[in-house]
Structure formats: C-alpha cells, structure tokens
Amino acid sequence: MTKYKCNICNKFEYDVEKGMEGIEPGTKPEDFPDDWKCPICMADKTHQITQ
Ligand SMILES: [Zn+2]
C-alpha cells in the first residue's frame, strides 16, 4: 500500500489503493492528468510525494 502526501500544503493525502474522484484506484500521482491540481493548495502532481 502506497500513500502520498502533498509537500506544499502537507494536508492532502492520497492512497493509491483507493484512488479518488476522477482517479482510478492503482493510479500513481505521476500518472495523474497533467492538469491535476491538489484540491487543497492547487499544487501540481509533482508535489505529491511518497510518505
Ligand atoms: Zn496541496
């Protein structure tokens, strides 16, 4: 199980196993759409780092 956390706001967490709205389970942040933004701070996907 791999979890990621946004390194800009340090609040947004993403669980690869669960996915989220618009993102299929098993999708890593590097495979998010290029226009994906953190729902909390609007940082792009490159700021989602492995916990
Ligand atoms: Zn963020």
Name the burial class of residue 23, with classes exposed (0-12), middle (13-18) and buried (19+) by CB atoms within 10 angstroms of its CB: middle
Strand ranges across the sheet with 48-50: 13-15, 3-6, 48-50
Task: For 34-51, write each residue's pLDDT tens digit.
Answer: 999 999 999 999 999 998
| Å from CA of 39 to ligand 1 middle | 7
**What confidence score (pLDDT) does residue 1 get?**
74
**Could you tell me the distance, in angstroms and rounded to a whole number, from the CA of residue 17 to the centre of ligand 1?**
19
CA of 21 from ligand 1 middle (Å) equals 16
37 C-alpha vs ligand 1 centroid, how far in Å? 8
Residues 33 and 21: beta-carbon distance below 8 Å? no
Tens digit of each residue's pLDDT (9 = 90 or more) over 6-42: 999 999 999 999 999 999 999 999 999 999 999 999 9
Residue ranges covered by each domain of the chain: 1-51
Output the CATH code of domain 1-51: 2.20.28.10
Residue 34 CA to ligand 1 centre (angstroms) = 15
